[in-house]
């Protein structure tokens, strides 16, 4: 028998679900668009798979899973996918993050 992952809430009480729509922040729309492009859903090359993306979200430590918002989990996962695939290195990522931070 497989043990449940921390993320697997199926059948457990989780409280009320807010089913009302909300406006997405610009950064959320950009993360979603990046994922669509990386998954190759718009005709471009498939750089990563949805399964890799999901696996990396499910692998988050419980404390991170609980504190990160939905699209923040996506950012962490997409980053891990790109690092795992060798598309970007940690050095390249660190340099870009410093560049973006300096704009600030």
Q: Specify the pTM.
A: 0.80
Q: Give the percent of the chain with pLDDT over 90.
A: 75
Q: Helix (H) and strand (E) counts for the chain?
A: 5, 0
* Position 46 in a domain: yes
Distance CA 49, CA 81 (A): 9
Structural domain boundaries, residue 59 = 26-103
Number of domains in the chain: 1
Task: Pick the closest to residue 56 from 69, 43, 73 (CA basis).
Answer: 73
* Position 11 in a domain: no
* Position 85 in a domain: yes
* Position 7 in a domain: no
Averaged pLDDT of the chain: 89
71: number of Cβ within 10 Å: 18
Q: Give the percent of the chain with pLDDT over 70.
A: 86
For residue 39, give the CATH number of its domain.
1.10.472.20
Q: Is the pLDDT of residue 8 over 60?
A: no
* Position 5 in a domain: no
Instruction: Provide mean pLDDT across the span 10-37.
Output: 84
Per-residue pLDDT tens for 24-52? 999 999 999 999 999 999 999 999 999 99
* Position 64 in a domain: yes
């Amino acid at each position: 028998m497989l043990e449940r992952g921390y993320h697997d809430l199926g059948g457990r009480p989780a409280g009320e679900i807010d089913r009302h729509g909300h406006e997405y922040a610009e950064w959320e729309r950009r993360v979603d668009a990046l994922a669509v492009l990386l998954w190759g859903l718009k005709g471009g090359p498939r750089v990563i798979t949805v399964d890799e993306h999901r696996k990396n979200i499910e692998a988050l430590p419980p404390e991170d899973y609980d504190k990160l918002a939905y699209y923040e989990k996506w950012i962490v996962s997409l980053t891990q996918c790109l690092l795992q695939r060798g598309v970007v290195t940690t050095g390249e990522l660190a340099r870009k993050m410093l560049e973006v931070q300096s704009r600030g």
